[in-house]
Structure 1
Amino acid sequence: MNTNQIARIASLLGEPARTAMLLQLMDGRWLTATELAGAAQVSPQTASRHLAQLVAASLLRVEQRGRHRYHRLASDEVARVLESLMQIAGQAPLQRPVVPGPREPALRMARMCYDHIAGRLGLAIAERLQAERAIEFDGEAGLVTERAGPVLARWGLSLAPEQAPTRRARPDCRPCLDWSERKPHLAGRLGAMVCAHCLDQGWLRREAGSRALCISARGAAALRGLLGLEAWRKVAEEAPGS
C-alpha cells in the first residue's frame, strides 16, 4: 500500500457521478450500467467509463448474465468505507443541532447496509444478541460465542463453518457503526444470514428504489417476540402489528 494507491481510490470516490452509482449499490443489489447511469444522471457511455474505473480499482464487481452486465459492490469492506464517508458527510457544523443519518423515517427504522440490517432494527438485533451473550463486540472486532447455538436456533438459524475457509474468509461477526444510530449493528457472515432470513421469512421486504426495509405484520409479531417488547417499541412505533 502506498500514498498513490490511496489517492487513486479517493479520487474515484471524489467524482459525484461515481459516488452516486456506488451509493445506489449500498443495498447489495446487482444493477446494470443503464440503471446506474440513471441514478447518476449521466449518459450510458459516461457511466460505462466510470464503472470500468471502479471495477479496475476493485470497488465494484461485474458479471455477464445473458445480454446484460451487472454491477455490485466488490465487498462488505467497500460498503463499510462508504458508510463511514456518509457519516462524515452528514455531520452538521457544531453550532447547529446534529441529526445524524437519513431524515426519512423508513430509512431510520430499518434499511439495507450492503447485505445486513441497519437502522433501529439493526441496532436492536445486535443489542439483543449481545444481551443473550451470543455475540460480543470488542472495538472493531466481533466474536460469535459458544452460547450462540441455542440463541440462533430461536431465530431459525445455524451458523455452520465456512465450506472453504481462506486467508480472506469473511468474519462470522463484526460491528458496523450505524449511520443513523451511531452505535454498532451486526455485520459479517452472521449479519448477512440474519438479514437474508428475515427477508426469506417475509418479516421484511425491500422498498423499490430505496435502501429502506419495510416490516410486515408477520415480521412485527416475530421480531417483537425475539427482541422483547421494550426493544421493539424503540424500533418501530408505527410498524404494522406493533
Structure 2
Amino acid sequence: MNINQIARIASLVGEPARAAMLLELMDGRSLTANELAKAGRVSPQTASKHLAQMVEAGLMAVAQRGRHRYHRLSSGDVAKMLEGIMQIAGDKPPRRSVVPGPRDESMRMARMCYDHIAGRLGLAIAERLQADGAITFDGEAGLVTDRAEALLRPWGITLASAAPGGGRGRPYCRPCLDWSERRSHVAGRLGAMICAHCLDQGWLSRKAGARSLAITAVGVATLRDLLGLALWEWVTSEGQAPRTA
C-alpha cells in the first residue's frame, strides 16, 4: 500500500471541478475536454490540465476519434470508488449537465451511422445483445459469441459470413462510440446486417437523404418485444414516444 498514492488520488477526486468531471462520466459516456470543462465550470485550458492529471493517475482513459479526444472513466473500479464516496456524502448522483450530440429529437432517438443504427435505439440493441450474451465489447474489439445464432433467430436474422456492406478485412462486430449517447452501439458487418434487416422488415423507415430513422407502428411492437420492456422504456425515457410512419 502506497500512502502517498492514496493521498494523491484523494486530492485529485477531492477538487470540485475534477469531481464534477468524474461524476459526469458515471453513466458510462465518453466526453470531450470542452464538454467536461462545462461540467466542471472551468475554462477549457484549466480542464485540460485537470484531465491530464487524472489520465496520468489512472482515473480516466482517453481515446482519439478523428480530430476529437474522448475521455471516460478508466475502469469499473473507479466508478465503484466514486459510488462509495457519493454514498458517504449522502447525495444522489447528479443530473447530466452535458447533453452532447444533435438537438433534433428524431436524430437522438434513431439514426444512420454509416450503415448501422445509432442513437438511443442503437444503444438499446447493443445493451440487449450484450445482456443476452450474444456479443461482448472489449475496448476497441467486439466478439460475437456462440450464443448469437440462437439469440438472433427470433429477430429473423441468420448469421452469415457475408453481410450488407461487408468487405475484406472489415470487422464482423465492433463497438462504435455513439455521438449523442457517448456509449457504444453495434457496428461492423453485424451492425450493418441488423440495420438492413430492420429496414427490410419495415420496423424502421428512412426518408431519402435523411439520417434519422422513423420507428414504424409495427416496429414499435416488434422492437419492444425483442429488446424487452425495461430497455424500451429506457430508450424513450426522455418523454419522446417513437415516431410512427
| TM-score with structure 2 setting the length | 0.57
Whole-Å separation in 2 of the counterparts to 1:108 and 1:202: 20
More moved, 134-143 vs 205-214? 205-214
Query: Amino acid of the residue matched to residue 238 of structure 1?
Result: A
1:120 aligns with 2:120: yes
Q: Does 1:154 align with 2:181?
A: no
What displacement does 1:207 show?
A: 3.1
- Give the aligned residue type for 1:139: G
Is the CA contact (8 Å cut-off) linking 1:87 and 1:100 kept in structure 2? no
Aligned equivalent of 2:222: 222
User: What pairs up with 1:101-112 in 2 under 5 angstroms?
Assistant: 101-112=101-112
**Distance change in 2, residues 1:185/1:105 (3 Å):** same
Unpaired stretches in structure 1, ≥5 consecutive residues: 1-82, 90-96
The CA deviation string for residues 173-197 of structure 1, in whole angstroms up to 9 with x for no partner, is 0000000000000000110000000
Change (3 A) 1:143 1:137: same
- Match in the other structure for 1:135: 135
Give the Å deviation of 1:233.
1.4
CA contact (8 A) 2:110 2:213 kept: yes
Q: Secondary structure at the match of 1:220?
A: helix
Give SS of 2:199's match. helix
Quote the offset at 1:209 in angstroms. 3.4
CA distance in 2, matches of 1:231, 1:167: 32
Aligned to 1:238: 241
Structure 2 matches for 1:1-242, cutoff 5 A? Answer: 84-85=65-66, 97-162=97-162, 168-236=168-236, 237-240=240-243
Distance change (3 Å), C-alpha of 1:157 and 1:87: farther
Question: What is the CA–CA distance in structure 1 between the aligned matches of 2:228 and 2:139, rounded to whole Å?
Answer: 26
Measure, in 2, the Cα distance between the counterparts of 1:148 and 1:191. Answer: 13
Pick the structure with greater CA Rg.
2
Residues 124 and 155 from structure 1, CA distance in 2 versus in 1: closer, same or farther, beyond 3 angstroms?
A: same
Q: d(CA) in 2 for partners of 1:144 and 1:106?
A: 29
Which AA in structure 1 matches 2:160?
Answer: A
Q: 1:100 to 1:159 in 2, by over 3 A?
A: same
Paired with 1:152 and 1:167, the residues of 2 have a C-alpha distance of 22
- Once the 2 structures are TM-superposed, how far is the Cα of residue 84 of structure 1 from its aligned partner? 3.9
Aligned to 2:74: none
For normalisation by structure 1, the TM-score amounts to 0.57
Aligned residues: 150
Cα distance between partner residues in 1 of 2:177 and 2:67: 11
Contact 1:204 1:216 in 2 (8 A): yes
Q: Report the CA distance between 1:210 and its aligned residue.
A: 2.1
Q: Determine what percentage of the aligned residue pairs are the same residue.
A: 64
The residue matched to 1:186 in structure 2 has which SS?
strand
